[in-house]
Amino acid sequence: MGKGFRYGLIAMLVMASAALAVTGGGDIVFKAEGMTDSLFSHEYHVGKAKKKCSECHYQIFTTRAQHKAVGMAGMEKGKSCGACHDGKKAFSVTDKQNCKRCHSVELLSK
């Protein structure tokens, strides 16, 4: 194997691993009827909370085209965000003190 080929292969592997390390999805704003819209941060959940994409996709959450609004009542029954935000795995969607953690004008203006 030539020296140039090896360096090229190494460069290609480094670039491919960097591309795979990027957190996909970005921030998603969900329109919430009767309250401030909510913000979902892929960066926080995948980066800081160390969640794997497969923990949510494609069991709890589907593609954007297949997405159906659930609302707070559904979340309180363990659907959508409520699957993890149950007070055990993560803060509870039923605790009114947590509303602004997702529904916040300050979050949405960043």
Q: What are the structural domains, with CATH classification, of the chain? A: 24-108 (3.90.10.10)
Q: What is the pLDDT of residue 96?
A: 92
Task: Supply 10's token pair.
Answer: 């190494």
60: left (phi over 0), alpha (psi -120 to 50) or beta: alpha
Q: Is the pTM of this model over 0.85?
A: no
Q: What is the pLDDT of residue 17?
A: 45
| Residues 24-56 as b or e (16 or more Cβ within 10 Å = b) | ebeeeeeeeeeeeebbebbeebbeeeeeeeeeb
- pLDDT of 84 > 70? The answer is yes
pLDDT in tens, 14-49: 554 444 445 567 888 888 888 889 999 998 999 889
- Give residue 8's pLDDT band: very low, low, confident or very high (50, 70, 90): low
